[in-house]
Amino acid sequence: MLYKIINIRLSIIIALAIALSVSYYMLVRDNSFHASISSIIQYSQHANVKKHLLILGLLPIYIGVIIFGAAIVGIYLGFTVENLFGKSGKK
């Protein structure tokens, strides 16, 4: 009964974990991409008032897009890996 309720495959869980940890790393740590939250806030402090408010207003949307985009990429990669190994295992 529990197997029917939880029908998520291991490859999808692994791909989701990797994709979400990479996106979390990009959001939290400063790196060469300048895509972290602190880099964006530092950039917005040097902008004029309108641009500063616009950047800070769109920051939660940016965070959501990065996290949900990483989840979608993780699910896609999980299905791709599963189909790749599933087809080769059946032959």
Beta strands in 1-91 (DSSP E): none
Are 82 and 11 within 8 A, CB to CB? yes
In this structure, what token pair is assigned to residue 88? 């080769």
| Rounded CA separation 83/91 (Å) | 12
Structural domain span for residue 61: 19-86
Asked whether residue 71 is assigned to any structural domain, the reply reads yes
Name the least confident of 1-5, 43-47, 83-87: 1-5
Give the pLDDT confidence of 4-45 residue by residue, as tens digits.
555 667 888 999 999 999 999 999 998 788 889 999 999 999
Q: Is residue 5 part of a domain?
A: no
Identify whether 33 is part of a domain: yes
| Chain mean position to CA 82 | 20
HSE-CB at 82 with a 13 A cutoff on CA atoms is 14
pLDDT at 89 over 80: no
Closest CA to 28 of 16, 45, 17, 40: 40
| Cβ-based neighbour number of residue 27 at 10 Å | 18
- The per-residue pLDDT for 6 is 58
In a domain, 12, yes or no: no
Element housing 2 (H / E): helix 2-5
Q: How confident is the model at residue 84 (pLDDT cuts 50, 70, 90)?
A: confident
Structural domain includes residue 42: yes
Tens-digit pLDDT profile for residues 51-73:
999 999 999 999 999 999 999 99
Residue 45 maps to a domain: yes
Domain assignment present for residue 11? The answer is: no
Looking at the structure of the chain, the number of domains it has is 1
